[in-house]
Amino acid sequence: MLTERQGNILRIIVREYISQASPVGSVAIARRYGIGVSSATIRNEMARLEEGGYIIRPHISGGGIPSDKGYRYYVESLVQEEIPLNEQRMLSHQFHQVEQELAEWTRLAAALLARMVSNIAIVTSPKAMASRVKHVEMVTLQESLALLILLLQEAKLKQQLLTFDEVVSQEEMNAISRKLSDLFQDMTGAQVMAQSTGLSPVEEQVKSAVVQIMAEEDKRRYEEPYIEGIRHILAQPEFTHTQSVLCLMEMLESKDIARNLLPEILTEGGVWVIIGAENHEDALKECSMVITQYGVPGEVDGVLGVIGPRRMPYGRAISSVRYVSSLMSELVAELHTG
């Protein structure tokens, strides 16, 4: 529905606006990007673009800025961009530098992503569809106070303090640990709950704690995510004055992001770009997101992405998100196959 020239002009407008943050006019386009065509022609084409809803004029005279639809067209027309190889190597290197731990990787992914795109990055830690017990361990802290350590698949550690009515020695604890560890091995929460033969009162108490931890773990669809790069968004001109950034902050600090952000992602793979008002969440109507799932398909997954103003370097954001997601998927896969 757009002629090739209209498409080109729209792309120029989007690119220019993304980098300059101020409306772009026909003369500027004609001057800076020498298409063999005068400003008047560009004006005509821009009028069509406005009719079609691809651009908006914030002031009756004065350049146009992309509408959500315009951004959408731009994003669809992007050719897949790749992160330069040397940068890839650097990133991958950093993951191998750091402590070998899932939480550490997740945090690092958020930090790197934020820096790569100069925007807010958000990364949830990976989560299995149904968590399974890998190991159970009890350690006595005081006479009747013990720490339950529960290792789930994907090397996820959970801990909880337990107080017993009776005094239990570390010896007994060890025996219990071994017994329950063997018994519960690779079970889901439901399966653990079903185990009920021949357990002592203390063991019963441990069992119910395990069940509870796993139920909680399975309940929340996504973990509370790591969020990095808030500083970047405060530097963006569209957010310095308005208070829409306040809503955004509240949204980010409120704990139920996972629930709100991710309904549509769940269904399908690939990198999703959500632009402005396409967001269901009010606080995000002024923002765009580039997000994707990562992990082992059907087994364990997490979500990772970038949030910024609509005026976002989509090409770079998409390739960054895709690459970091592939890195994280690899790391998780290594852990999960165990």
Partner DNA sequence: GTTAGCACTCTCGGGTTGCGAGTGCTAATG
Partner DNA sequence: CATTAGCACTCGCAACCCGAGAGTGCTAAC
Q: Which residues bind a copy of itself (CB under 8 A)?
A: 99-101, 134-135, 137, 139-142, 145, 147, 149, 151, 155, 157, 159-161, 174, 178, 228-231, 234-235, 240-241, 243, 245-246, 249-250, 253, 334-335, 337-338
Which tokens hold the place of 60? 């009756």
43 interacts with DNA by CB under 7 A: yes
3-state DSSP assignment of residue 121 = strand
Q: Does 1 bind DNA (CB under 7 A)?
A: no
Token digits of residue 232: 């970047």
Alpha helices, H only, 98-185: 102-117, 170-184
274 closest CA partner among 132, 72, 90: 72
Residue 61 or 142: the one with the smaller Cβ distance to a copy of itself is: 142
Nearest-approach distance from CB 16 to DNA, in angstroms: 10
- Cβ atoms of 114 and 122 within 8 Å: the answer is no
Distance in Å, CB of 31 to DNA, minimum: 8
DSSP secondary structure code for residue 24 in this structure: B
Among 21, 32, 40, 220, binds DNA (CB under 7 A): 40
Query: Which residues are CB-neighbours of 139 under 8 A, at least 6 positions away?
Result: 146, 147, 149, 170, 173
Q: How far, in Å, CA of 302 to CA of 306, rounded?
A: 14
Q: How far apart are the first and last CA of the chain?
A: 52
Task: Please list every residue from 5 through 24 that binds DNA, using CB under 7 A.
Answer: 5, 23-24
Comparison of 135 and 285: residue with beta carbon closer to a copy of itself: 135
Q: Is residue 53 a contact point for DNA (CB under 7 A)?
A: no
Selection from a copy of itself, DNA, none that 25 binds (CB < 5 to 8 A by kind) is: DNA
Judged by CB under 7 A, the residue of 19, 21, 38, 200 near DNA is 38
Q: Taking CB within 5 to 8 Å according to partner kind, which of DNA, a copy of itself, none is near residue 253?
A: a copy of itself
> Under DSSP, is residue 230 helix (H, G, I), strand (E, B) or coil?
helix
Please report how close the Cβ of residue 266 comes to a copy of itself at its closest, in angstroms: 26
**Residue range at the interface with DNA (CB under 7 A); choices 38-46, 115-123, 211-219, 330-338:** 38-46
Nearest-CA neighbor of 225 among 143, 337, 304, 166? 304
Interface with DNA, residue 64, by CB under 7 A: yes
Region near DNA per CB under 7 A, out of 42-50, 143-151, 171-179, 275-283: 42-50
- Least Cα distance to 222 among 164, 318, 300 occurs for 300
Using CB under 7 A as the binding rule, whether residue 28 contacts DNA is answered as yes
For the four alpha carbons of 70, 114, 222 and 252, in that order, the dihedral sign comes to: negative
Q: Which residues bind DNA (CB under 7 A)?
A: 5, 23-28, 36-41, 43-44, 46-47, 50, 57, 59-64
